[in-house]
Amino acid sequence: MRRKLAIVPERCSGCRVCEIACAVHNQGVNNPKKARIRVTAIYPHPVVRMPVVCSQCKDAKCMAACPTDAIFSKDGVVQITDDECIGCHACVDACPFGAMYIHPDYDVPLKCDICGNSDQPQCAKMCPTGAITFIPEHVFGQAHRLNNVLSYAHMKEIEYMEKGEPKKLHYADNNAADREESGGAK
């Protein structure tokens, strides 16, 4: 079963632990500018923070753009052969997500290879808020599916406090649908 890095931007605090963890483990230096994942923060309109990292595309634009075929895919991980790379950065420009990075110390772009196709990439392991998850491929999109289901079902919501903590109760009111069908509530 293949797994993918999946980002939940709503949970990101912008702390950049992912960047520094990536850099120390993959490049062996204490330098967040050498990370293969970066947090972009936009404020105040709109307020959003989001780590940007390679999606390991099946039909990878970076691979297609590479003039020397230096980029290849193995076991679902898109990687660069350093020796073949000529440093033209066409791949960086081609990536629709901006998920490849350039640092002046390197000719070869920085690109996520899931920590050498590991089963525990450092960014996901170290993220303190769960904004970076490492999930089976078939689970990808699950959050959107659930959101879609929830919005389709016209969910109702009640807010209440429990032991000082705010809680919400969500429910789909089946009777309401029946009432609508029979021409509105009586």
Partner 1 sequence: MKEYKGGYFGKILHVNMDDGSTRIESIDDDYVEKYVGGRGFAIKLLWDHLKKTGKIDPLAAESMLVVAPGPLTGVYLPSSGKNSFAAISPATGIYGDSSMGGGFGVELRQAGYDAVAITGKTSELSYLFIDDDVIKIVPCPELAGKGNLETEGRIRDNLGDHSLRVASIGIAGENLVRFACVTSEWSRNAGRTGIGAVMGSKNLKAIVVRGHKDMPVADLEKVIEISEKAYHELGSHYMMGHWQRVGLMGVIDYANELGILPTHNFRDTHWEKAHMINADVMMSKGHKIGNTGCFGCPMCCGNINIVKEGKWAGTVTEGPEYETAAMLGSNVGVDDFASVLRANHLCDDFGVDTISMGNLIAAVIEGYEKDLLTLDDLDGKPVKWGGDERIMELIEQTAKCESIGATIALGAKGMLARWPQLKPLILHVKGLEQSAYDCRGASSMALAYGTSDIGAHHTRAWTVGKELEAGADWTNKDRVDLVIYHQHIRSLFDMFGVCRLPWIELGFHEDFYAELYSAVTGKEFGLEPLLKASQNLYDMTRAINVALGVKRKDDFPPDRTFVPIHTGPLAGKVCDKKEYDEMLGLYYKTRGWDEEGKPGNFAI
Burial class (CB in 10 A: 0-12, 13-18, 19+), 112: buried
DSSP state of 105: T
CA gap 51, 20 in Å, rounded: 12
Question: What distance in Å separates the CA atoms of residue 37 and residue 41, rounded to the nearest whole number?
Answer: 13
Q: How far is the CB of 91 from partner 1 (least distance, A)?
A: 19
Q: Using the minimum distance from each CB to partner 1, give the nearer residue, 77 or 127.
A: 127
Residues in the chain: 186
**Nearer Cβ to partner 1, position 61 or 125?**
125
Q: How far is the CB of 78 from partner 1 (least distance, A)?
A: 23
Least CB distance to partner 1 at residue 119 (A): 17
Peptide bond into 109 cis (omega under 30): no
- CA angle at 23 for the pair 18 and 29, rounded to the nearest 5°: 145
What is the smallest separation between the CB atom of 11 and partner 1, expressed in angstroms?
8
Complex with partner 1: residue 1 or 161, whichever CB lies closer: 161
Taking the least distance from each CB to partner 1, the nearer of 154 and 167 is 167
Residues that bind partner 1 (CB under 8 A): 10, 13-17, 20-21, 24-25, 28-34, 38, 40-41, 43-45, 47, 49, 103-105, 126, 128-129, 159, 161, 164, 166
